[in-house]
Copies of this chain bind each other. A is one copy, B any other.
Amino acid sequence: MNLSLPSETIFHAIESTIKDYRKFAQKNISEKIKDMTIDQGMVLLFLNEHPELTQKEIAELVFKDNASMTRMINTMVQKKHLKRSINSKDRRRYIIEITDKGKDVLKTLPPIIHQNRNSSLKGITKNELNQLEIILNKIRTNCAKT
């Protein structure tokens, strides 16, 4: 069996890329906002655009499971970025609101993220990005098949 080493595969390149981007982005966030992780920032961005999202839905968007999301939101409530209240329409869910402190973060965060995205994609054409997305989608589709 002549198998290339994991480090020589495209999967290694993919994983390495996202980890490098996360490190880069986290560093730039931490310089400006204390005690704020990328994942927490993403939760704020999602809730800001879609306040009706359930914890389960947010979890999926940021690649966590339900249990992790419960705990993540607990800490964000403790840190006073979010407020949880009962949803009388469906008492299994919560209404999750962004507090004033959370809104302050939402003033500072977007320009940093914008900058992170721009500088990490510098020199890459629109066409290349399209290509990249198409190929990644093929891989995802293949992995979804049994």
Contacts and interface: CB of A to CB of B under 8 A. Distances in A.
Interface in A1-39: 1, 3, 5-7, 9-11, 13-21, 23-24
A70 interface: no
Identical copies in the complex: 2
A110 B11 contact: no
B136 A122 contact: no
Contact of A24 (B17, B135, B143): B143
Interface stretch (A41-49, A71-79, A80-88, A92-100): A41-49
Interface string A104-120: 00000011011001011
Given A5-B49, A14-B18, A120 B142 contact: yes
B6 A11 contact: no
Interface of A: 1, 3, 5-7, 9-11, 13-21, 23-24, 42, 45-46, 49, 61-63, 110-111, 113-114, 117, 119-124, 128-129, 131-133, 135-140, 142-145
